[in-house]
Structure 1
Amino acid sequence: MIEWNAATIKDFQHTLLDWYDQEGRDLPWRHDHEPYHVWVSEIMLQQTQVQTVIPYYERFMDWFPTVADLANAPEARLLKAWEGLGYYSRVRNMQRCAQQLLADYDGQWPQTAAGLEALVGIGPYTAGAIASIAFNQPVPAVDGNAYRVFSRLLKIDDDIAKPQTRQVFEQAITRIMPHDRPGDFNQAIMDLGSSYMTARQPDTAHSPVKRFNQAYLDGQELAYPVKTKKPRPKPVAYVAVLAQMGDQWLMVQRPSTGMLGNLWTVPLIKVDELDLEEDASTADLLAAVTAYFKREYRLILTAKMLKLRPVTHTFTHQKWTIQLIGGQVQPADLAYFAGKGVLLAELDQLPMPKVQEKIFNRANVH
Structure 2
Amino acid sequence: MITSFETSLQNLSVHKVGNKSQDEYLTLSDAQLSIKDETLNNLLMTYFLKPFEKVNEIYRFTHSSEDLALNEIYHFAKKCFQEPETFHEMSQQITRHLFDVSTHPKIKSGEVYIAFFDQVQIEGQLHQAIGIFKSETKETYLKVYPDAGGFFLTYEREAINIQKLDKGCLIINTESEEGYKVAVIDQTNKTPEAAVYWKDDFLKLKIRNDSFNQTTNVLGLYKNFVKEKIDDDFQISNPDKIDLLNKSMKYFKEKEKFDMDEFSNEVIGNEVAAKSFKDMVQSYEKEFESPISGGFEISGQAVMKQKSSYKSVLKLDKNFHVYIHGDRQLLEQGFDEGKGMNYITLFYNKEM
TM-score norm. by structure 1 comes to 0.27
- The structure in which a higher percent of residues are helix is 1
- Bigger radius of gyration: 2
